[in-house]
Structure formats: C-alpha cells, structure tokens
Structure 1
Amino acid sequence: MLESFLATEPQLRLVVFLGVLVVMALWELAVPRRRVEIPRVIRWTNHLALVVVDTIVLRLSFPILAVGLAVMAEDRGWGLFNIFGTPDWIALAVSVLVLDLAIYLQHVLFHAVPALWRLHRMHHADLAFDVTTGLRFHPLEILLSMGIKLAVVLALGPPAVAVLIFEVLLNATAMFNHSNIRLPRLADRLLRLIVVTPDMHRVHHSIRPEETNSNFGFNLPWWDRLLGTYKAQPTDGHEGMTIGIEQFRTRRDLWLDRMLVQPVKGPASGYPINRETAKKR
C-alpha cells in the first residue's frame, strides 16, 4: 500500500501539471485578459527549461520530499497529529489549511527580507503575466521553500494524502492564478471567496511596490483578507498596469542564464517590505 502510494505520486502530479498547463494555455489564447506583446516562444521555452533545472536541483538536494516525509511520519508516529491520534478527516482538513498558511507566510517573508527578496524577485521580473509565470522560481527559492514545507510536515504529522492534495492544488492554482485569462466580473468576484483568481494575483505582479507587497496568497484568498494584505484592484487597471519590477526590463533578462544570476545583480532595495517607506506613503 505504502509503496504503491509513493510509486503513483509522480505520475499523478505530472498528469495534473500537464493537464492544467495545456487547459490554461488554450484558455489564454481564446480569451486573453491583456494584450500579448512579448513572443511566447521566448518566455515559454525559458520558463519550461527553468522547470527542468528546478526539478533536477530539488531531486538531487533532498533524499525525501514532502509526501514521502509525511508517509514516514505516519509510520513512525512523528508530528502532532500522529502523537495525539487526531481523526483522519480533521487532520486532513487542518493540514491543508496549515500548509497553505505556511506558504502564505513564507511568501511574505520572501518579500520582507532583502536577501530572500533577491531570490524571489526573479519570479516578479517577468515582463508579462501568463500561466508560465507560475512556474518561474529560482532553484534556490525552490530549495528553501521545500525545506520550510518539510519542517511543517515534520512538526504537524499530516496524513500523506493531505500533503499530496495540497501539493497538487498548489501547483494547479499557481498556474490558474497566473494565467492571462479574462473571467466575467461576477465569476471573478464569486471565485475570490474560495480561491485566488488571476485578477487578484495579477495585482501582486504590478511594478508599483505597494501593489507588489499585497495579495500574497497562491491558493486560498482568506489569509490576505484576514491579515490585511488584500488589494482588490491595481491602480492603473488590469489592461494599463505595468508588470514586473524596475531592475530587469529587457527581453534579454527573460533568458534562463540571466534569470539564474539575477539574485546577485544590482541592489535589493525598493521592493522589500519596509515600514519607514510605508509610513511615508
């Protein structure tokens, strides 16, 4: 049972990943939200190459990933839920919520600490916003994120199926909410009650620092509303807003080699959350 669960996990995640990627890409072609000004071939080939690099680095760096650690924790009685014998249905629901909150807090942290912002800003340096932007993360950020996730799994002791559900949902919703799709206004308003929509997350990719430092949720929209980081719409509107950050604005910066060295290029000022700057505004 355990071996079969672990054996099918990569195939399940790959099927969902490819399925959501294709569906969202076709949706973007059919009903785009913003005009496409940069050739997709430049961004998509480099973003997909980055996914390959991230996957290789992750697999070589960690002997076990989140789902595998959850299976081990269940087997050995590690973590709060396993120690206290929490009913499976409660452990499953709470685990998904806690893991999502952890990703939200991690995201805020990567905006608050200049050294971490250097890694995360590669995600924001995309000059457009579409489904592949949701795949654009520096390998070092991927490693740190997995380390945080493993720590939460070890402390919590969630059911392995809960971790798998969370991982699949996070991957799928990250592609969904980064997509360049046009949703009817009512549909967007209703969906925002349960999931981060593209219009909600696009605000986070604005060149304006006060908008970059809002809407941190990837999956559930509730944390932004509860913790005061929610911004409904961009100042310049979705069609008029400028995507990206001020530092890297050439098409050459969109290539894989340039993306990988962005953390060591230039200052980290301007975008990390800063209370003094916030007071001046």
Structure 2
Amino acid sequence: MNINEFVMNNEVAIRLGFFFGVFAVMALWELIAPRRALSLSKAVRWANNLGLVFLNSFILRLLFPAAAVGMAAFAQEQGWGLLNYHEVPQGLAILASIVAMDFIIYLQHVLVHAVPVLWRLHRVHHADLDYDVTTGARFHPIEIILSMLIKFATIVVLGPPVVAVVIFEVVLNAMAMFNHGNVRLPAAVDRLLRLLVVTPDMHRVHHSVEDDEANSNFGFNLSWWDRLFGTYRDQPRAGHEGMTIGIHKHRDPKRVTWLPGILALPFVGRITGYTINRRSWSDEK
C-alpha cells in the first residue's frame, strides 16, 4: 500500500485524531493561561458553536462524501492540474501545493469581506461575542459549502498530491484552533512566530468590532500574505484586553450565540455596503 492509498483509507481517522487532539490541547491552554476574560457562558457558547461544527460536518459528508481528498485522487487519475501534467518531485509538489492552497484561502477570506452578500454569510464567524478555540470552526453551512467548491476548483487547476491535501486540511484545522485560541504567548515568542505563521494575537485583531481592524490580518496559516498585500496590522488600538470582539450591529447574545439565531443571521437585515474598500485609513496610528 502506497502513501496515497494509506491516506485515502484513513483520512477520516487522521483528521479526527488531529482535530480532537489539538482541540484538547487548546482548551486546556485556555483554561491555564487565558488572554482575555470571557463575557458569556462558555458552556452555552461551546454547545452552540460545536453544534454548528457537527451540523456542518454532517452536511459536507452528505453532499461531498469523498470531500477534497476524493477530488484530489480523481484529479490525479484524470491527469488534471498543473502538478499532474508536469513531472514534479513529490516533496516539492507537496510543499508547493500547501503554500498555493493557503494563498487561495487568504484570497477567499478577503473576498468574503469585500462582497456584501458573502459578508452576510461570513459575519456568522465574526458575530461571536467572545474569541476562543470554538470560534475557529464557527461558520455558516452555506459558507462551508462555498468554501468546499472553491477548494474543488483549486484542486482541479493545481492537481496537488492526495497527501498534500490531507496535510493542508489537518494544518488548516489545527491552525484555525490555534490562532483563535484565547491564549497568552510571551511577546517575544509571538513576534518570532508571526514571522512565519498567524498567532492568536495577530488574528484576534481581525475579530475587532472596528471595521478597519476587522479588514486586516486575513491569513489563517502563513502570515506572509498579509504582509505582502498590505493587510497586516500589528496590534488593536485598544489593546487585546480592551478591544471589543464581534460586530457593532449584532450584539444580542440570543441572536448571535444560540444555534437558531446563528443559522438565521445571514438573512437578517438589509444588504448594505459593508465592503472592504470602506476601511478607514485615517485611523491608522
């Protein structure tokens, strides 16, 4: 059995093992060294946020049984994609695939902030009134489906090895839990880590209620993209303990914390001009 067959046969076990392992580590870290005091009941938030995670997982398995790994295997069989068309060393193909897919995730994240109708979906993620490990997986089912379709298109064009897709999925989930963690890192460690990857303090800025701060630090894994494309912001103006998490117009815990309200959130209110080009540069300090 080669590596691709092993990964295909054990993909679910690999992903679940890493998910529960990283989740347990982050949950314990948040308990031992929290960065901020939470404003709402953790039990209520976790029950609803994790309920959304399980709902999304069920929907994805129902609609896309083979998921991204299956698409990568199919593309490989058909010879689709740049890396299947050209002979590339396996190690280089894996590394290039992970970096390229991370760049697409960055672009997708910018897109859901820039287009009002997509922002309505994505604001489910931002409307959480607290910021912890469960926020990292809090996305509306429609956004999750759109994200999977974008991933499929990326795989068809790129042709990444199956093992690269599994590594990327595992790393993406793990990093989403890490950089959404309500954890405290020494300042020197944070500065060093964010030269390569997105840290909790770096991404927390993105969850500020202030529009110009929310429209920055879009990366999930690599911090390069924000620095390269000018969307990087070092710290929130009010500091990490003083900043307000969430969205200005969505502060009612019943509407943004409980699962029925979370699912209804994209369809509440008028479509307005919440777009990335409203970012306020005059507030830069």
Q: 1 CA distance for matches of 2:36 and 2:270?
A: 30
Secondary structure of the residue that 1:189 maps to in structure 2? Answer: helix
1:109-139 CA-to-partner distances (Å, cap 9, x unmatched) read 0000000000000000000000000010000
Any stretches of 5+ residues in structure 2 without a counterpart? none
Report the equivalent of 2:35. Answer: 33
AA partner of residue 260 (structure 1): L
Aligned to 2:226: 224
1:220 maps to amino acid: L
The alignment partner of 1:240 has SS state of: coil
Gaps of 5+ in 1: none
1:24/1:131 contact within 8 Å kept: yes
CA-CA distance at 1:22 after TM superposition: 0.8
What is residue 139 of structure 1 aligned with on the other side? 141
State the alpha-carbon separation in 1 of the partners of residues 280 and 244 from structure 2: 21
From 259, 262, 265, the equivalent of 1:262 is 265
Q: Corresponding residue for 1:149? A: 151
Partner of 1:104: 106
Q: Secondary structure at the match of 2:247?
A: coil
User: What is the one-letter code of the residue matched to 1:256?
Assistant: L
Task: Provide, for residues 198-233 of structure 1, a one-character-per-residue CA deviation record: whole Å limited to 9, x for no partner.
Answer: 000000000000000000000110000000000000
Q: With structure 2 as the length reference, what TM-score do the two structures score?
A: 0.95
Mark the CA change 1:162 to 1:4 in structure 2 (over 3 Å): closer, same or farther. closer
Provide, for residues 1-58 of structure 1, a one-character-per-residue CA deviation record: whole Å limited to 9, x for no partner: 3554322010010010001111101100100100122110110000111011101111
Aligned to 1:191: 193
What fraction of aligned residue pairs are identical, expressed as a percent? 58
Q: Distance in 1 between matches of 2:277 and 2:47?
A: 35
| Alpha-carbon separation, structure 2, partners of 1:200 and 1:269 | 28
Tell me if the contact between 2:121 and 2:266 (Cα under 8 Å) persists in the aligned partners: yes
Partner of 1:122: 124
Whether contact under 8 Å (1:78, 1:157) holds in the other structure is yes
1:240 — aligned with what? 242
